[in-house]
Structure 1
Amino acid sequence: MEQLVKGANVALAALSDIEGPVTLTLGWSDPTGAGEADVSVLLQGADGKARGDGDFFFYNHPSSADGTVQLLGKTPTGGGSEDGIQVDLEALPADVTGVVIAASRYGGATFGELDDLRLTLADSAGNPLLSFDIGDAGEETAFVFGELYRRDGAWKFRAVGQGYASGLAGLAGDFGIDVQDDEAEAEAGAEAVTEASTVAAEAADGGTVTRTAPEAVHAEPVRAEPAADVAAPPVAKTLEAPAAGRVRTGRRVVKKNTLPVAKVNLADHAGWQGARLFSVSGLRNDQEREVRATSTLLAVMTQVPEFGRRITARFGAPAGTMQTFAEASFKHGESTVRPDGVVRVSRAGRIWTALVETKTGGSPLKREQVESYLEVASRNSYECVITLSNDLALDGGHPVTVDRRKTRKVALRHLSWAEVAHEARLLCHHEGTANPSHAWLLGELLHYLEQDNAGCQGFQNMGATWVPIRNSITEGTLRPGDRRAVQVAENWEKLIRQLCLRLGGESGLPVAPVVRKKRGDDPAERRARTVAGLVETGRLTAEIKTSGAAGPLGVEADLRTGQIEATTVVPAPDRARTLTRVTRLLRQLDGAPGELRIEALPPGGSTGPCELLKNLRAEPGLLAQGGAEEIAAFRLTLPMSMGTRRGVEETGFIRSVDAVVDRFQEQVLAGLRVAEATP
């Protein structure tokens, strides 16, 4: 992989002869765990300017109509997050001369606050071609990372690294795009939402929408919060603003369909089950589960273009006509191999092909089987082998270690059933589909994946070393260097990542693990610290950050006491007496369980007076301690007993983690959010 410096350029043809779209990845990390940025893409015409507003791509306009530009979304990494962009350079219109890759921050945040700013570019097989690190970021709130441009009919890449203190508005303005920013957006936001509601209502009534609000024709969407008693129209993806002062307005109103509210149940008895398109009945073994799960997923990918494109874009496939096949046979030496499925995408006379190998339940992927599919794919000039199981890949790797020589011409990618469900939830419940029947079809797929007998629930087993490590901690015999503890640390990371996927799919907001890493850290060092924590304290800890949330949600499993805790820190109200701050918090926690621990934190302090909620309801002054010290924040902690088994039983450890986080969100954080929204 070629490492570029600022201002350098290179011809892409000199780096790879593999055809197909390229994938650019923008990455960063933040020592505080709170840093985030949004990527954007601008297409340039011959004059160096955008040809129109449609040449600007951002989170609410993530792809071009012809599929040549696709924002792939954020992926949590060991040190922060990465945002992917796929560009089919050969399919871009002839009058597009350049593709600008940029990112922006909001709410006064700057790029100088982020670490490890970087851009990487990979070919359609996933091979990294070049990398560009930015080490001189300062007070800029927008940044052009790099630029793809045509020169003598060939595409080249230039490492730009130019920052804008004027934010996204200043950056986009240089390319002829008018973007409202900060305070100026707030007034336009209310008008845009009003217009959106009007247009959506006309569309719902069957009328033809022939007008677009002038206020809503800006590249950066502005969103104003609807009144508490007025339902927001289902016209587009709705996200909470990630930072104060960040308001967005939609460039255009496009009706999107999500699952409708459940109808009245006409069953005579509560035990009646509604008929389902994808049934789990009659599945007797893992082979039958794998066949049905593969066929179900591939069929829905073909019938729901938005969903199929989101899945295949992860693997470098072009946007085009998709066909899927189940149980295809290939000659391999003197025998025959049968991958569980085949995906083929046709675009501009070229066909992209991937072989699919599926596992359900606890069935592991087998190295020999995966390598045989890599050989078949290479022999047939196929681009990719996709493995699908309940396991999750860490740090962009693969759950199975294969001979690297077999991946020189064929990409090996992995997908978890949890990631499939995440993409389906986002489209089904939040972002919507163009066709209402497609939303229903995704709902049927989700129902199938959630059934225990389908074997597609995601990561559900902490591994064979889990019980021995718990016993060693209880007995006090666990010591540094125990290789079994490393597997527990890896599985803990998988569990937290899967939890983020589920929470993100349910809320429609980006949710990612917070990794407070040091410069130069690598996954092995990070897991070594987790193992050290197990040896010293017997605890597994993690933090989860939801976009727009005031702070991270902490999760801690104490293997010595058998307790799991969910915790967060909320600021105390300003301009109020100490006791008043406590009573205001108690009113917000009216529906919270009595065993919730509340700790009063002084300014700059990490500990303070602590009491159970049930005791504070009778005597709020227990936290005030005579008013001796001002309360700056409250730490809220909800404990719960953990399970002991490894598998999918309700008492399992993984389900215990899910249960305590869900209970904390529903009974504690929900009351705080309502209080925040009331003013």
Structure 2
Amino acid sequence: MRGTTETYIEVPFDTSEGRVYPDGLIRVRRGARQWTALVEVKTGKNELEARQLESYLDIARSEGFDALVTISNEIPPVPGQHPTAVDRRKLRKVALHHIPWSFVLFTAIMQKEHRGVADPEQAWILGELIRYLEHSKSGALELDDMGQHWVSVRDAVASGTFRANDGGGAEVASRFDALLRYAGLRLGQQLGIDVTPALSRSEIAQPQERTDNLLRRLAAEGVLTGGLRIPHAVGPLTVTADLRANRVTCQVDIPAPQTGRQLTRVNWVIRQLKNARADLRIETLVARARGEGPTELLEKVREDPKSIAPEPGREIKGFRVALSVAMGSKRGRGRGSFIDSVVETVDEFYGDVIQNIKPWAPSPPKMRPAPELDDDALSSTDLSSQDEAVAGV
């Protein structure tokens, strides 16, 4: 809702348990309409508490307010989901929204650096907010921890003893999706666009389905996997963390040209990767084929394009380009950490591969050239006159 905005801090409310002070209140007015929300803020490693939020939801309902907005360093695995579980009955008349500090910083940078602010004073204020949020002592932290269960789950997966219903697994799955969303926010800041998790409609509507899928694959294959959707990119960027092989892999599927011979299509993708690192893996995706297609490292494909060409007569439908690097194992940030190994690989893969791939498009159709006429010729060049003469005519 757009309109005149009023903001207040630490507005007191009396409850059965005493007087409480939510961190803020926002009211937006437009004509006879108004929208009002309480605001609760946490910084640093402080997490939102269900009991406190439920108390504020009760206040909002009794006062006729519309929503409760929370801000903290917690990043929900699915956009629109709240990181704190509260009694759903308290949400019947009051909406509950959450904004991570990383998203606040992302939005501020997008507005100032990419969209622009016309008013000089507002631009200065926004710049100061960005400078403050980026300071290490602001309390607006980056994602810096995979959670208390990361080490035990990681070790159980590596040894083959992890099961999908084991304690701690759901937290690790949730943290992994939060990490992907964080990596997307960071990438979006650099690109000036919204990079979002690549989720199905059912996974967005039912976040538990996404968690269950992650846990099944983690138990069966030892991997955590997800994707990022980047506007105008050739395809989603898929991230896979293999906890048994200790590898992080980023990959993208590239549709092949629909015309040309096999080697023509292979050379088309090689030319677009001319400046990419030599240890990229390229797999040829073959139409109507079962199993994996021919695959080689880019270094060899450059020397011998035939090395990833399928058998004669088979049609190339696309290429899968992947970068695999050593995975960090530490739960926190810094050298050797899992978080840094994922974020850095996402940034490198996008810059080295995806941003350089231009999707194939067919050439526009050419006009049929008009036949040249001979002024001295008596016969017509019209197509109908090219027919054989009919006897007796």
Task: Say whether the fold is shared (TM-score over 0.5).
Answer: yes
Does residue 225 of structure 2 align to residue 547 of structure 1? Answer: no
Q: Please give the secondary structure, in 1, of the residue aligned with 2:112.
A: helix
Secondary structure of 2:353's counterpart equals helix
- List aligned pairs for 1:317-328, cutoff 5 A: 318-328=1-11
Query: Could you say what secondary structure the match of 2:147 adopts?
Result: coil
Does structure 1 residue 557 correspond to structure 2 residue 241? Answer: yes
Match of 1:68 in 2: none
Aligned to 1:401: 85
**Range 438-447 or range 412-421, more displaced:** 438-447
**Paired AA for residue 117 in structure 2:** T
TM-score, normalising length: structure 2: 0.79
1:367 to 38, 50, 56: 50
Task: Tell me the CA shift for residue 653 of structure 1.
Answer: 2.0
The separation in 2 between residues aligned to 1:374 and 1:575, in whole angstroms, is 60
The answer to whether the aligner puts 1:649 opposite 2:346 as a matched pair is no
Q: Counterpart of 2:316 in 1: which secondary structure?
A: coil
The secondary structure found in structure 2 opposite 1:453 is coil
Q: Does the 8 A contact of 2:42 with 2:71 survive in 1?
A: yes
Residues 519 and 472 of structure 1, relative CA distance in 2, 3 Å threshold:
closer
The higher radius of gyration belongs to: 2
**Which residue is equivalent to 1:671?**
356
Task: Give the corresponding residue for 1:272.
Answer: none
DSSP-derived class of the 2:96 partner: strand
Q: Name stretches of at least 5 consecutive residues in structure 1 with no aligned partner.
A: 1-317
AA partner of residue 329 (structure 2): T
Deviations along 1:390-411, one digit per CA (max 9) or x if unpaired, are: 2234474432233445444443
Matches within 5 A, 1:235-254: none
Q: Determine the C-alpha separation between the residues in 1 that align with 2:202 and 2:5.
A: 43
The structure 1 residue matched to 2:347, chosen from 638, 655, 662, is 662
TM-score relative to the length of structure 1:
0.48
Task: Mark the CA change 1:627 to 1:508 in structure 2 (over 3 Å): closer, same or farther.
Answer: same
The alignment of Structure 1 onto Structure 2 pairs a total of residues equal to 360
The answer to whether the 8 Å contact 1:603/1:632 transfers is yes
Following the alignment from structure 2 to structure 1, what is the Cα–Cα distance between the partners of residues 162 and 3?
54
Match of 2:207 among 523, 535, 539: 523
CA distance in 2, matches of 1:359, 1:397: 17
Q: Judging changes above 3 Å, is the alpha-carbon distance between structure 1 residues 386 and 541 closer, same or farther for their aligned structure 2 residues?
A: same
Aligned-pair Cα RMSD in Å: 3.2
Cα contact 2:293–2:310 (8 A) shared by 1: no
**SS of match in other structure, 1:637:** strand
Pairing of 1:297-376 with structure 2 (within 5 A): 318-333=1-16, 335-348=18-31, 352-376=35-59
1-structure distance, mates of 2:125, 2:288? 52
1:497 paired residue number: 181
Give the 3 Å change call, closer, same or farther, for CA 329–555 of structure 1 in structure 2.
same
Matches within 5 A, 1:447-458: 447-458=131-142
Contact 1:599 1:610 in 2 (8 A): yes
Matching residue within 289, 294, 306 for 1:621: 306
> Cα distance 1:500–1:519, how it changes in 2: closer, same or farther (>3 A)?
closer
3-state DSSP of counterpart to 1:452: coil
Identical-residue share of aligned pairs (%): 40
Do the aligned residues in 2 keep the contact of 1:354 with 1:386 (CA within 8 Å)? Answer: yes
Question: Structure 2, unaligned stretches of length 5 or more?
Answer: 365-393
CA contact (8 A) 1:354 1:385 kept: yes
Give the match for residue 233 of structure 1. none
1:450-482 per-residue CA deviation (whole Å, 9 max, x = no partner) reads: 343323245433222222111110111112322
Give 1:590's aligned residue: 274
SS state at 1:555 partner: strand
Once the two structures are superposed, residues 593-617 of structure 1 have per-residue CA deviations (whole angstroms, 9 ceiling, x without a partner) of: 1211111222233522211122333
Using the alignment, how far apart are the partners of 1:470 and 1:424 within structure 2? 36
- The alpha carbon displacement at 1:436 in A equals 4.4
Q: Which amino acid aligns with 2:171?
A: Q
C-alpha displacement of 1:564: 0.9
Q: Give the Cα separation in 2 of the matches to 1:475 and 1:665.
A: 32
